[in-house]
Chain A
Amino acid sequence: MATTATPGSRTIFRRPASHTGFWSWITTADHKKIGIMYGYTAFTFFILGGLEALLIRIQLAQPDSAFLSASEYNAMFTMHGTTMIFLFVMPVSAAFFNYLLPLMIGARDVAFPRMNAVSFWIFVFGGVFLYTSFLFGTTGPPAGGNLAEAASRLGSGPNGGWFGYAPNSGIRFSTGTVMDYWSIGLQILGLSSLISSINFIVTIFNMRAKGMKLLRMPVFVWMTTVVAFLLLFSLPIIAVALFMITFDRSFGTLFFDPSMGGDPILWQHFFWLFGHPEVYILILPAMGIVSEVLPTFSRKPLFGYPAVVFAGAAIGFMGFGVWAHHMFSSGVTPITQAAFGLSTMAIAIPTGIKIFNWIGTIWGGKVKLNTPMLFSLGFVGMFVIGGLSGVTHSIVPADWQQTDTYYIVAHFHYVLFGGAIFGLFSGLYYWFPKLTGRMYSEALGKVHFWVFFIGFNLTFGPMHWLGLNGMVRRTWVYAEETGLGPWNMAVTVGAFIIALGVLIFMINWSWSKRNGPIAPFDPWDARTLEWTMPSPTPEYNFAVNPVVTSLDDFWHKKYTEDSDGRPVRRPEAAALVAELEEVGLNPPAPIHLPNPSYYPFMVGLGMPMIGYGVIYRGAAWGIPLGIVGALIIIGSFIGWGVEPLEEPHEEHSDHADEPEPGDDHGEDA
């Protein structure tokens, strides 16, 4: 404890002490609480993004509809994409990482608990900042075309698409402030993800339990690792690009203004250099979840664990080499087209390996079709369709036909909804008992799956032929004579069926959380370390630091194999589980935990203040507000610097376990 005995640890605030109630959530540094907050916040944004999608679909249900104005439509499709990507799928994945990563590798917390809280609060304030565009944003005088009407509040969201293509997003064509909200908001959100990626990398490399070698880590942890590296190396690129657009808009630089010698194609390169790895950032967490769910419900080990891990790493690596396939119609050279067409075909190989391994896992297993398993199977099926339509884009001339049509929309929704979101819901059901200590309603869960499955395919299936028939993206009306009306109506009906599915999920979740039957200790007869703990997980996670001797350690402690290789439950398994439960609830020695802190919240609070300062630098209060925001952040970090992580003079400051000498300090990178 020598290192925390700080002289003069008095700080500006009294340290928060309580472990329950409102303030305990604001000040927590517990990865599980942060994970839960990530989850609920992300789900709130999921509802918002979903409502935006429904408005889009009402508008497009009929030809020549006047339900939304053009500017409202622009704001809706921009914010639908931005919300679902940056405010739902990424943070809900972060929720899983936060909650599960330490549990799966046998750690008491992440490497930097308070930095973890910083990530979360920056995310919350960044998301809220982005959405305040609807309250305060202006679209400016119309630049001509069809935008001749004054924008309503609904039309005052960012409106340049989630990709924010220059020069449309530049000051010349977007004279109002809404794209400032977008560029600065994403900058803040990116900072949050960058911090958490560093945190997760250090956690994975440094905090593993004894014996948890890298190739004994669950596949979900491996996919977290790959995602963290993708974030680490791709976020700085978008940070620079967003700084450039912000400077173009606010401080008169000319990077993307072709009328002054700037280069809009540079934006596209930087954006997609980030944007394609981003696609894998969205899908890999779901792949990790599915790789945990399929073996558990097939009662077989994951088929070809090293291949799945290696394929995941290969996807991450190759994901940086395919970005220009988003730009085939942007006038890139033939060499670039050929090179990126080939690399795009090549990246299908590791993805295909994973699909085969998942099928191999189910093959011959004793499959139990519980809700998580249904969603995982749905993931595999839908992702195959989305992956195959994706490969068609690598054929450059075909891509020219498909670009900017609903075919593309169909493709990436099969990957990101049929893939990522099905996988994430699979995880939500799978770990629900761990999170709450109760079981969800299996019947409602299955209804949710089938409603989702039907609604999803009705929504996004017809988009393939709508697109190939010439229905263009990002356009708020289409003419009656195109004949696209009937299928569009079907798509809209499908979208509302999806909304019904979400409603069923919410009812199931909120009811079961309080009233569901008490979940057994290890309800799925699972394989990974988080199931060796009581549910809900106690604050200290592991009562005794675990020691791991093999991949799927928990499973091997419960099961052995007969002569045909079939799993046979060991007679002592029940006693083992009972003992784990007993020990888990009664730690033999006191355990000290990171203390809560106000500073992470303060750091988050400072971020949007700087953002408003930049946007409203012309107003008398603008620059002062920004400076105050910066001072809050700097002051918080200084206060933090003198505040020890664990309170030195607390009663229970003994170590439960001293680090043992001679642990495997191998640099098994």
Chain B
Amino acid sequence: MAEEHALAHPTPRQYVQIAVLLAILTAIEVALYYLEQSIDAFTTSIAAPLLILLAVMKFVIVVGWFMHLRYEKSLLSKFFTTGFVAAMVLYVAVLFALGAVVLL
């Protein structure tokens, strides 16, 4: 199936580079946590969106490259996204109905 190999999988070297990137993102997350703890002006409502953004980046990198999803047929992405979106929507609705503050 030629089209599957149109995008070459990363080499081991590139995998290590991706892992370094993930490590750096994690370091930034932890740093943000401490900034939020120690600086009054840097409130949770500023830190939280940044932290979520970083988590989303890590999530996408692991799914896209380590799980090879960006090299796979789009059907798999559809399944995966469906599960993710369904979970987000339904549980946010449940938390809303229960009167819980969502995320922040």
Contacts and interface: CB of A to CB of B under 8 A. Distances in A.
Q: Do A and B come from one complex?
A: yes
Interface in B72-100: 73-75, 78, 83, 86, 90, 94, 97-99
Contacts of B98: 263, 265-266, 269
A324 B1 CA distance: 47
B63 to A, nearest CB: 19
A665 interface: yes
Contacts of A205: 75
A1 interface: no
Give the one of B1, B83, B97 with max A CB within 10 A.
B97
A499 interface: no
Nearest to B3: A665
A552 to B, nearest CB: 26
A320 interface: yes
Given A667-B73, A669-B75, A233 B86 contact: yes
A273 B74 contact: no
Interface in A96-124: none
A560 interface: no
Contacts, number: 26
A229 B28 CA distance: 39
Contacts of A259: none
Interface residues on A, range: 10 to 19
B78 A669 contact: yes
A332 interface: yes
A20 interface: no
A665 B1 CA distance: 10
A134 B64 CA distance: 51
A333 B99 contact: yes
Contact of B97 (A269, A320, A669): A269
B18 to A, nearest CB: 27
Interface string A262-293: 01011001100100000000000000000000
A332 B97 contact: yes
Contacts of A475: none
Given A205-B75, A667-B74, A669-B75, A333 B94 contact: no
A233 B78 CA distance: 14
A233 B83 CA distance: 7
Give the one of A269, A273, A324, A333 with max B CB within 10 A.
A269
A199 to B, nearest CB: 15
A269 B94 contact: yes
B102 to A, nearest CB: 14
B82 to A, nearest CB: 8
B75 A320 contact: no
A510 interface: no
A336 B100 CA distance: 14
A265 B99 CA distance: 11
Contacts of B74: 667, 669
A268 to B, nearest CB: 10
Contacts of B97: 269, 324, 332-333, 336
Contacts of B73: 667
Contacts of A263: 98
Give the one of B73, B90, B99 with max A CB within 10 A.
B90
Contacts of B86: 233, 320
Contacts of A336: 97
Contacts of A665: 1
Interface in B1-18: 1
A265 B94 CA distance: 10
A161 B97 CA distance: 24
A433 to B, nearest CB: 37
B47 to A, nearest CB: 28
Interface in A310-336: 320, 324, 332-333, 336
Nearest to B73: A667
B78 to A, nearest CB: 6
B80 to A, nearest CB: 12
Interface string A64-95: 00000000000000000000000000000000
Contacts of A324: 97
Contacts of A669: 74-75, 78
Interface string A631-669: 000000000000000000000000000000000010101
Interface string A320-358: 100010000000110010000000000000000000000
A613 B45 CA distance: 46
Given A332-B97, A333-B97, A320 B90 contact: yes
A635 B65 CA distance: 33
A289 B97 CA distance: 37
B99 A667 contact: no
Contacts of A333: 97, 99
Contact of B90 (A265, A273, A667): A273
B95 to A, nearest CB: 9
B37 to A, nearest CB: 27
Contacts of A266: 98
Contacts of A273: 90, 94
A324 B94 CA distance: 9
Contact of A667 (B1, B75, B94): B75
Nearest to A266: B98
Nearest to B95: A269
Nearest to A332: B97
Contacts of B94: 269-270, 273
Contacts of B78: 669
A333 B98 CA distance: 9
B103 to A, nearest CB: 18
Contacts of B75: 205, 667, 669
Contacts of B1: 665
A138 to B, nearest CB: 33
Contacts of B90: 273, 320
A662 to B, nearest CB: 11
B99 to A, nearest CB: 7
Nearest to A229: B82
Given A233-B83, A269-B94, A665-B1, 17 more contacts: A205-B75, A233-B86, A263-B98, A265-B98, A269-B97, A269-B98, A273-B90, A273-B94, A320-B86, A320-B90, A333-B97, A333-B99, A336-B97, A667-B73, A667-B74, A669-B75, A669-B78
21 contacts: A205-B75, A233-B86, A263-B98, A265-B98, A269-B97, A269-B98, A270-B94, A273-B94, A320-B86, A320-B90, A324-B97, A332-B97, A333-B97, A333-B99, A336-B97, A665-B1, A667-B73, A667-B74, A669-B74, A669-B75, A669-B78
Interface of B: 1, 73-75, 78, 83, 86, 90, 94, 97-99
The 9 closest A-B pairs by CB, nearest first: A667-B75, A336-B97, A669-B75, A269-B94, A667-B73, A233-B86, A669-B78, A667-B74, A332-B97
